[in-house]
Structure 1
């Protein structure tokens, strides 16, 4: 369920659905609390009766729902984060039926443990959606590059004619960027954040003091929670914000790749060029002849705005202090939400853009031929240095480059890195 109203400020936002929405974050925080309580019981730290609330249908998730988002959000101001109010609400609602569940809920955790881990769970869902779109884009771009290996056009540098080029090589360049983006997402790690108040896990050791090897119990608790959530076991990372900035960088890398693609489409779809066009152009409120490249425009919008969001994550990381930052940590939450949602929306727009992209090879050839003298100027210079007549073609190793990139794409499609779906771990 999405908590986002239709967004007049960001056309297409509805494509992200409920990803990174408040209900999704609420659900993820409850999952973290439930996994922690289950681990306490399994380790023998908490009594078996503490699991009563977990054993009921839908576990702790039955105690709260989307209707609780608004009051929890309003109450979060008092403590600076939504976890404090959530824990109080869960305990209040569990108390009447499951007193031991209420008593042991959240014991040994801190707000940062719950919120950081929940944020990664939510972001991982968004990344899975983006990677699904990237897979479709890789397939389409490989098809375009292969089909147009020999489609000649004018190569342009700094807006001016340079040398002969092919649209297949241009599509291969787009493809390389998309492949790089997906590989960066696939390389992300999703470490659980569990450390207690200051990352020492001292409360856990104290809770396990009557058990053999309390420190070993503490390590086992972290590993158990990570496994229950489908995350990687990790030492506490509190104010070392690398897991957040890496995700941000990978998402920005996606919009970088799509921005390059969209800019080419916007330029080459100008009426005076007409070498490319979107499958379905957008209309104008006053000029009925227009078929605006709306998808490319919206993709470019994302590419122009996501780097600043990524920069905010880095600034927040650099400003982290002590064992929980006073403001830097708080600045990440909405920033990461906006970055992830905008990347999801741009992914969908880029997929649609490529699916309907029209290549006007005749226009490409006409422009190439009209500028042939300029496009082959370098060739004449090279041939003159070699003391011979220019060759019939001047495309260098273009076809080899296209072939290598298409082969990389096919390898990528045949042996994909598994998508990070949360449902597999519930």
Structure 2
């Protein structure tokens, strides 16, 4: 995919694209049909390979026909039935409802994207761990509210970035393993599946089989309980928050008047050839600025859930989650590129620290208050703090490898 409105969108590849979503919906229909046959509910002759049924141009046709019923599943099922033999067409989609197929396909697409995000996060942890260790004792100026504050180290600043990335990366494994299947039927009661299977246990077994085939977690129907979607959105926002912090620090430090950091590969200007713009930082900050509002839309939709299928709130999730997901994947790749190519000017950091006025005022106050001679370096517990973050990062790398 390409998107002129979102430079870098191609980095997300086919993840959460229209094509991926259509394939995921077909995969759900395939898994359910297979489950019906394996359970002895549908006859063996109903078995079919649905993956080759669709042809070029079908995506556009399904998209146009979905305007009739308000979702793409009805159009897809109609197309699959038209191109299947009588036995397959009779059993295709039986016991499911449109929301089952659409929700499960969304989860499948989101899972694939979360795997990419997790891989990028793990790489960022490794890179930042090395950077924090390398610059553990490199002196630099701490700034608060944009102004010179006290001495610190570049290792401490990078450790703060690393803590944020770890806060985002650590929960992803648990989230990915708990993404739920959806198979509630027309009103979320498993009524049709119970009739097909002949018992409640049989209906639940069909739902579980669908989950197993798609490598999702078994789950009871959650048609209007949307925490599965909001948890995905929140995880992505937490990632973008962490990456936005890194990007903001790098963009600030790359200003010529500061000059302590710069991107390994900056961008140019159409009219000012002398510029070396921090483009990766800019594009990461763009994602961080927009991620929160997109997740807020998911929460607003969740809060507007009503009855056994929501009228509009559910529909608002699909494109919102797609946009948030693709933006997050792109930001993940950009952040990996940023930290991997980051250039640090230790001499400039030291010079800025030396030139900052009034840095010893708090140190003098502490000496007067305690009556003890001041320590040579007024850096407090910085080394201990950096060490704690490095230990946490190494545990993460060990556990995720």
Task: Pick the TM interval, shorter chain.
Answer: over 0.9
Distance 1:77 1:161 in 2: 58
Q: Does 1:72 align with 2:38?
A: no
Alignment partner for residue 119 of structure 1, among 100, 106, 109?
A: 106
Instruction: Report the equivalent of 1:139.
Output: 126
Q: Does 1:356 align with 2:352?
A: no
Secondary structure of the 1:239 match is coil
Q: Does 1:62 align with 2:47?
A: no
More displaced 10-residue stretch of structure 1: 234-243 or 65-74: 65-74
Secondary structure of the 2:28 match is helix
Distance 1:375 1:272 in 2: 19
Alignment partner for residue 396 of structure 2, among 405, 409, 412?
A: 412
Instruction: Report the equivalent of 1:420.
Output: none
| Contact 2:159 2:389 survives alignment (8 Å) | yes
Instruction: Report the equivalent of 1:366.
Output: 351
Runs of 4+ in 1 over 6 A off after TM superposition: none
Matches within 5 A, 1:212-251: 214-251=199-236
Distance 1:322 1:184 in 2: 31
Alignment partner for residue 394 of structure 1, among 371, 378, 395?
A: 378
Distance 1:136 1:206 in 2: 49
**TM-superposition CA deviations, 1:152-204 (whole Å, max 9, x none):** 11111111111111000000000011111111222212100110011111111
Distance 2:140 2:62 in 1: 58
Distance 1:10 1:65 in 2: 29
* TM-score when normalising by structure 2: 0.98
Alignment partner for residue 256 of structure 1, among 241, 256, 265?
A: 241
Distance 2:305 2:197 in 1: 31
Matches within 5 A, 1:17-32: 17-32=13-28
| Contact 1:23 1:66 survives alignment (8 Å) | no
| Contact 1:185 1:247 survives alignment (8 Å) | no
**TM-superposition CA deviations, 1:248-282 (whole Å, max 9, x none):** 00001110000000000011111110000111211
How many angstroms does 1:65 deviate by? 4.0
| Contact 2:142 2:152 survives alignment (8 Å) | yes
| Contact 1:154 1:375 survives alignment (8 Å) | no
**TM-superposition CA deviations, 1:356-388 (whole Å, max 9, x none):** 1111111111111112x5222211111110013
Q: Does 1:192 align with 2:181?
A: yes
Q: Does 1:157 align with 2:149?
A: no
More displaced 10-residue stretch of structure 1: 127-136 or 107-116: 127-136
How many angstroms does 1:215 deviate by? 1.1
Matches within 5 A, 1:86-101: 86-95=76-85, 99-101=86-88
Distance 2:166 2:57 in 1: 41
* TM-score when normalising by structure 1: 0.92
Counterparts in 2 of 1:388 and 1:239: CA distance versus 1, 3 Å: same
| Contact 1:164 1:376 survives alignment (8 Å) | no
How many angstroms does 1:72 deviate by? 0.4
Q: Does 1:331 align with 2:316?
A: yes
How many angstroms does 1:208 deviate by? 2.5
Say how many residue pairs are matched.
399
Q: Does 1:345 align with 2:327?
A: no
**TM-superposition CA deviations, 1:266-323 (whole Å, max 9, x none):** 1111111000011121111111111111110000000011111000000000011011
| Contact 2:170 2:396 survives alignment (8 Å) | no
Distance 1:339 1:400 in 2: 37
Distance 1:405 1:196 in 2: 47
CA RMSD across the alignment:
1.0
More displaced 10-residue stretch of structure 1: 38-47 or 12-21: 38-47
**TM-superposition CA deviations, 1:30-56 (whole Å, max 9, x none):** 1101111111111122122211x1xxx
Instruction: Report the equivalent of 1:282.
Output: 267
Secondary structure of the 1:109 match is coil
| Contact 2:187 2:309 survives alignment (8 Å) | yes
| Contact 1:145 1:168 survives alignment (8 Å) | yes
